[in-house]
Chains A and B, each alone.
Chain A
Amino acid sequence: METRNVERQANGLAVEAAGLVKIYGKERAVDGVDLAIPSGTVYGFLGPNGAGKTTTIRMLATLIQPDAGSATIFGHDLKTESAAIKSRISLTGQYASIDEDLTGIENLVLISRLMGYPVKEAKQRAAELLSAFGLEGAAKRQVKKYSGGMRRRIDIAASIVVTPDLLFLDEPTTGLDPRSRNQVWEIVRALVQAGTTVLLTTQNLEEADQLADRIAVINQGKIIAEGTSSELKASVGTGTLNVQLLDAADQAQAAAILERKLCVPVHVSTDGVTLSAQAKDSSIVAQALGELGEEKIGISDFSLGRPSLDEVFLTLTGQSASNQPIEEENS
């Protein structure tokens, strides 16, 4: 048994990638991704469905081979040293990567044995994980009878039977209720505290904000922005001002006022009464709303929201994330 040792490479990087490309048919699913992820940090891939997040992760986890480009994981070359990489990484995919017909404990004993624990120790380790993840009561139930949150936890438990140096989490909280989501966040934080580097994908800015030290925004196979959460938010402004008019007839005048005050393009939604625009500063928002009042433009509702993924996209790409073709990622 070798002592756990988060060895730092000379450059301190868990993942270093240059020009990763993956092509499916005519589509460039991943189109030249460069990465430099420091050891011991959480790195978030933020992007809509089909942006290339999963494909990138699957390449880095040795599951699929890049068509071009190169990458190293803790200094090991992705193409030639996959065995060395496999002993240090772990992957929790978007879909439960456990045997749903088996019980929780049977799954964890199986994975523990496959990680090299002798049968007796495998059972101990499985019990330890189940108790840490609040799954003791469900240990002897088939996983297919688990709730979404429990399933996600057992899946992550299976990924950290041997605490990995690098953990890939593909949309770990998609479809979970807020409580289960918080539990997953707690798990991620505990792992990072123990020295694990975590690379997670998400469609949710708040999640990236909560967990990630650095975030890469991915769209159509390319990283279109990279930085810390506050850097990204700064690029988007404070958020979006939404104004709902009483009368659609005022639309053109109201849009003109907002455009002049906020110095950004104003989007008019299809109902004709909802206007939205990026706001850099809340005092300017107050002035703009004041001017609408002076012009006797009736407002039924207004809100100043924090930036959402959609808005990050709007700002970074000039197109809305939800207008992206929604398609399953190639797997």
Chain B
Amino acid sequence: MSVQMEHDKTAYEEVHPSNAIAGGRRPDPPNALASTMAFAHRALLRIKHVPEQMFDVTVFPIIFLLMFTYLFGGAIAGSTGEYLQFLLPGILVMTVSQITMYTGIDLNNDIRKGIFDRFRTLPIWLPSALVGALLVDVIRYSLASAIMIGLGLALGFRPEGGAIGVLGAVLVILLFSFSFSWIWTAAGIIMRSEKSLMMVSFLVVFPLTFVSNVFVDPSTLPSWLQGFVNINPISILATAVRGLMHGNGTWEQFGWVVVVSAIFVVIFAPLTMYLYRRKE
């Protein structure tokens, strides 16, 4: 440590600001792809420096899967093995949907720390700041999915759709999650603090994921509740994912996920960018 301090002192002396002036070269502003890649790289570096943030995509899924399988398995399906076949696709959908909210929290932190101001004065395609981060989030979601599916297989999950079906299901989840994340980016800009953002996220995410067909067959529910469960985007996604994993998916189920995802992007991506530009 003392060696490090010594080093600081020498560095302290040597400031040659005239060497910092960029010579006769002024690059053209980056295109959308280049700036998106730069922001994606930043998100990867953040994972490297703040590995704790991977907790939510590694530990949560494991806890959720074990907890719900053994808690509800006997009561709902007669056996945990049987229940796992029904539960795994759903719990995967639920977990990944829940961790999408961290996207908003990261953005909210950027805004409060001031780096947001710098990005906004750069001559770049502004959405790249968010798209770059969301692309890396997709990697996080993939990791969470891989962990859950791996654990599920170890516990006795046997998808009839085979590897292709499972892969297809994961891709559908990623499409949905990328689209769903735009809700949190919008919320992340509006909310004043991380705390209030967390609260709002939980208020949305918990009812949405629990009051769905993730845990139980909706036909056992009172009819007024069935109505909500059936139009709940999480149910729509869970149905498509189950279909793909168990080899009985339909284009209609897939089509609905695409429609729901498109609706999220069409509404919340422009809203996010509007708020991003106008944020004071």
Asked whether A136 and B11 contact (CB < 8 A) given A100-B113, A113-B38, the answer is yes
Q: Is B207 an interface residue (CB 8 A)?
A: no
Q: Is A1 an interface residue (CB 8 A)?
A: yes
Q: Is B252 an interface residue (CB 8 A)?
A: no
Nearest Cβ distance between residue A209 and chain B, in whole angstroms?
20
A93 pairs with B19, CB closer than 8 A? no
Q: Is B120 an interface residue (CB 8 A)?
A: yes
- CB contacts under 8 Å to A, within B26-84, are 26-30, 34-35, 37-39, 41-42, 45-46, 49-50
- CB contacts under 8 Å to A, within B115-145, are 115-124
Q: Is A191 an interface residue (CB 8 A)?
A: yes
Q: Is A286 an interface residue (CB 8 A)?
A: no
Q: Is A207 an interface residue (CB 8 A)?
A: no
Q: Is A254 an interface residue (CB 8 A)?
A: no
**Which chain B residues lie closer than 8 Å to A110 at the CB level?**
38, 41-42
- Docked complex Cα distance between A312 and B26 (Å): 42
Q: Name the CB-closest residue of A to B280.
A: A64
Asked whether A158 and B11 contact (CB < 8 A) given A96-B113, A190-B20, A190-B21, the answer is no
A134 pairs with B12, CB closer than 8 A? yes
The B interface, classified by DSSP as helix, strand, loop or mixed, is helix
- CB contacts under 8 Å to A, within B75-104, are none
- Docked complex Cα distance between A58 and B121 (Å): 10
Q: Is A71 an interface residue (CB 8 A)?
A: no
A186 pairs with B114, CB closer than 8 A? no
B19 pairs with A132, CB closer than 8 A? yes
Stretch at the interface among A35-43, A83-91, A224-232, A239-247: A83-91
A87 pairs with B29, CB closer than 8 A? yes
B122 pairs with A86, CB closer than 8 A? yes
- Docked complex Cα distance between A15 and B34 (Å): 31
Asked whether A163 and B10 contact (CB < 8 A) given A83-B123, A101-B50, the answer is no
When the two chains form the complex, which single residue of B25, B34, B122 contacts A4, counting CB atoms closer than 8 Å?
A: B25
**Which chain B residues lie closer than 8 Å to A128 at the CB level?**
19-20
Nearest Cβ distance between residue A39 and chain B, in whole angstroms?
16
Nearest Cβ distance between residue B250 and chain A, in whole angstroms?
44
Nearest Cβ distance between residue B206 and chain A, in whole angstroms?
29
B16 pairs with A86, CB closer than 8 A? no
Q: Is A284 an interface residue (CB 8 A)?
A: no
Nearest Cβ distance between residue B194 and chain A, in whole angstroms?
15
How many interface residues does chain B have, given as a range? 35 or more
Q: Is A53 an interface residue (CB 8 A)?
A: no
Q: Name the CB-closest residue of B to A24.
A: B280
- Docked complex Cα distance between A48 and B8 (Å): 33
Asked whether A116 and B118 contact (CB < 8 A) given A163-B22, A190-B17, the answer is no
B28 pairs with A111, CB closer than 8 A? no
**Which chain B residues lie closer than 8 Å to A1 at the CB level?**
25-28
Q: Is B18 an interface residue (CB 8 A)?
A: yes
B122 pairs with A114, CB closer than 8 A? yes
Nearest Cβ distance between residue B16 and chain A, in whole angstroms?
5
A161 pairs with B22, CB closer than 8 A? yes
Q: Is A131 an interface residue (CB 8 A)?
A: yes
**Which chain B residues lie closer than 8 Å to A288 at the CB level?**
none
B117 pairs with A63, CB closer than 8 A? yes
**Which chain B residues lie closer than 8 Å to A159 at the CB level?**
118
- Docked complex Cα distance between A250 and B195 (Å): 59
A163 pairs with B121, CB closer than 8 A? no
Nearest Cβ distance between residue A123 and chain B, in whole angstroms?
12
**Which chain B residues lie closer than 8 Å to A113 at the CB level?**
30, 34-35, 37-38, 41
Nearest Cβ distance between residue A132 and chain B, in whole angstroms?
4
Q: Name the CB-closest residue of A to B112.
A: A95
A135 pairs with B11, CB closer than 8 A? yes
- Docked complex Cα distance between A87 and B7 (Å): 36
B113 pairs with A111, CB closer than 8 A? no
**Which chain A residues lie closer than 8 Å to B46 at the CB level?**
99, 101-102
Q: Name the CB-closest residue of A to B21.
A: A194
B20 pairs with A114, CB closer than 8 A? no
- Docked complex Cα distance between A90 and B122 (Å): 8
Nearest Cβ distance between residue A296 and chain B, in whole angstroms?
53
B122 pairs with A99, CB closer than 8 A? no
- Docked complex Cα distance between A52 and B227 (Å): 54
Q: Is A210 an interface residue (CB 8 A)?
A: no
**Which chain B residues lie closer than 8 Å to A162 at the CB level?**
22, 26-27
- Docked complex Cα distance between A259 and B18 (Å): 50
Q: Name the CB-closest residue of A to B13.
A: A134
Q: Is A217 an interface residue (CB 8 A)?
A: no
B26 pairs with A3, CB closer than 8 A? yes
Q: Is B203 an interface residue (CB 8 A)?
A: no
A160 pairs with B114, CB closer than 8 A? no
Question: Which residue among B17, B18, B24 has the maximum number of chain A CB atoms within 10 Å of its CB?
Answer: B17
When the two chains form the complex, which single residue of B8, B30, B123 contacts A147, counting CB atoms closer than 8 Å?
A: B8
**Which chain A residues lie closer than 8 Å to B28 at the CB level?**
1-2, 116
A3 pairs with B121, CB closer than 8 A? no
Asked whether A138 and B122 contact (CB < 8 A) given A101-B49, A162-B26, the answer is no
When the two chains form the complex, which single residue of A94, A96, A137 contacts B7, counting CB atoms closer than 8 Å?
A: A137
- Docked complex Cα distance between A123 and B114 (Å): 23
- Docked complex Cα distance between A111 and B129 (Å): 12
A115 pairs with B20, CB closer than 8 A? no
Q: 9 shortest A-B CB distances, which residue pairs?
A: A116-B27, A132-B20, A190-B17, A132-B19, A113-B38, A97-B118, A187-B17, A95-B114, A87-B123
Q: List 24 A-B contacts (CB under 8 A).
A: A1-B26, A3-B26, A4-B23, A4-B26, A63-B280, A86-B122, A91-B117, A93-B117, A94-B114, A97-B117, A97-B118, A101-B50, A111-B118, A111-B122, A113-B30, A116-B29, A117-B27, A132-B15, A132-B18, A135-B11, A179-B12, A190-B17, A190-B18, A191-B17
